[in-house]
Structure 1
Amino acid sequence: MVLFADYNNPYLFALSFVLLIGIVEIISLVCGHLLSGALDAHLEGYDALHSGNIGQALHYLHIGRIPALIVLCLLAGWFGLFGILAQHVWVTFWQAPLSNLLLAPVSVILSVFAVHYTGKAIAPWLPVDSSTAIGEDEFIGRMAIVTGHSAVSGTPCEGKFTDKFGQIHYLLLEPEAGKAFKKDDKVLIICRLSATRYLAELNPWPNIL
């Protein structure tokens, strides 16, 4: 089997995706952001993702217990490994590659099962942000910085603040009706609307804070 043969392209692309995400996460960390935290914050803002069949599927993949970005990388990694190994075995015994129209869906299914059991194994070892600093209900009354481009009522954007322990928290912020936020606005968190979605107002004391 030739690793870089055309029939391995989908699986090499998946492994390359994992490598790319790792590089981007390192760069974002150096820049003071956390890509995985931002993705989790956005997912938590959609209540439809936490109910019904979609909610059950995400629960099976341990999204909520481990960062969604890690789940995505695990899916891509297992998909790539299963596909390349299957093609290697097939070419070794039959001297021809297996059709990816058949192999790719099978690899996806196997990857889902692999992620479930891998996630179950690694979840206890991953740090949980809220357990090392303050609870989410304590976000109320904090000053945050808007890091997204803009937000209006019903359409939140990303924001962040640093607690007294030095830990950065990412959440979704939206203003009251008729108002808007733009990037780098400093806002006061007023109340909690959902898991990571909060109502906020522009800093009422700009000359002080």
Structure 2
Amino acid sequence: MFEFWLANGNLPFAGAGVLLIGLMILQFSGLTDFAPDLDSDMDGGVDAAGVANGLLSFLGLGRLPLMIWLALFLLLFMLIGFVGQQIIQGATGALLAPWLSGPLAALAGVPATAILARPLGRIMPKDETTAVSIDSLVGRFAVLGAGTAKPGSPARAKVLDVHGHPHFVMVEPDNDGQQFNSGEKLLLVRRDGDLFKAISQGGQHLPRLEG
């Protein structure tokens, strides 16, 4: 069995097995965190980016992390190569030369990897983040804490982001002559640097249209 695996015609597939083991060691050691991100923006122009994105999508590279995709390709390349060589040896009594068996297995391995990457991409856990931009707090309701907020004299208010996480921001009225009292519910209408401008949820503080 080892003689078959290490035969001259099977050297590309034995090498793929060694690379696969190396990738697994890197993956478990955490060193693959420094791998390039294929999802980063491409600066080659709209047409070039479209062609590149289409090719990556066809190969399934956008559905799996690069190292997982490469490990899957090496596994399929190795299996297709060994199985194919075993069939050819049984039929002809000899193995294909490595310069021929390697490219043939690669031609079969690329579409096979692309096909398997789709279902694997759907079941693999995705990295998610609950971080939000501070600008996303505009348009959300906040509750003023202790103290009084006046123009030029802001007070601290608590606002929940889209994930329900609390943020504490400094707030002052958006309109002159208004003030907000402790516990008042406010609508954040815009941001001015680190300061948020707000209007009260209460009708007495809403801007009025003159008719």
Query: For residue 74 of structure 1, what is the aligned residue in structure 2?
Result: 72
Instruction: Say which SS state the counterpart of residue 129 (structure 1) adopts.
Output: coil
Structure 1: which 5+ residue stretches go unaligned? 29-33, 141-209
TM-score w.r.t. the length of structure 1 is 0.55
**Contact 2:39 2:62 (C-alpha < 8 Å) held by counterparts:** no
Higher alpha-carbon Rg: 2
Alignment of 1:21 onto 2:17 = no
TM-score w.r.t. the length of structure 2 is 0.54
Out of 74, 78, 81, which is 1:83 matched to? 81
| Deviation of the 1:134 alpha carbon | 2.5
C-alpha root-mean-square deviation of aligned residues, in Å? 2.9
Query: For residue 6 of structure 2, what is the aligned residue in structure 1?
Result: 4
Letter in 1 for 2:130: I
**Contact 2:5 2:11 (C-alpha < 8 Å) held by counterparts:** no
**Contact 1:82 1:107 (C-alpha < 8 Å) held by counterparts:** yes
Letter in 2 for 1:15: G
Q: What is the distance in 1 between the residues matched to 2:26 and 2:20?
A: 10
Cα 1:123–1:69 shift into 2, 3 Å: same
Instruction: Say which SS state the counterpart of residue 62 (structure 2) adopts.
Output: coil
Q: What is the distance in 2 between the residues matched to 1:5 and 1:139?
A: 61
Note the alpha carbon deviations across 1:47-95, whole angstroms, 9 max, x for none. 4498243322211122222101111111111111111111111111211
Structure 2: which 5+ residue stretches go unaligned? 136-211
The count of residues paired between Structure 1 and Structure 2 equals 132
Out of 37, 57, 60, which is 1:41 matched to? 37
Letter in 1 for 2:22: L
Cα 1:42–1:59 shift into 2, 3 Å: closer
Cα 1:45–1:52 shift into 2, 3 Å: closer
**Contact 1:40 1:67 (C-alpha < 8 Å) held by counterparts:** no
